[in-house]
Amino acid sequence: MNSPIGLAIVGLTALLQAAPAQATDIETSVAPVCDTQQHVERLAGLFAYNTKSAVHAVNFEAQNPRACAFASVAFLRGARIGMVRTQEATFEIVEVLILGTVSGDTVMAAKPAIYFSLLKIDERGV
Please, what is the Cα angle at 72 between 66 and 76, to 5 degrees? Answer: 95
Average of per-residue pLDDT across 17-25: 51
Task: Please give the backbone phi and psi of residue 86, each rounded to the nearest 5 degrees, phi first.
Answer: -120, 180
User: In the chain, what are the domain boundaries?
Assistant: 4-8+24-120
Q: Pick left, alpha or beta for residue 47 (phi over 0 → left; psi -120 to 50 → alpha; otherwise beta).
A: alpha
What is the SS3 assignment for 107? strand
pLDDT digits (tens, 9 = 90+) for 71-86: 999 999 999 999 888 7
| pLDDT score, position 2 | 47
Question: Which of 14-18, 50-54, 106-110 has the weakest average pLDDT?
Answer: 14-18
In 11-58, at which residue ranges do the beta strands (DSSP E only) sit?
27-34
**Residue 43 contacts residue 31 (beta carbons within 8 Å):** no
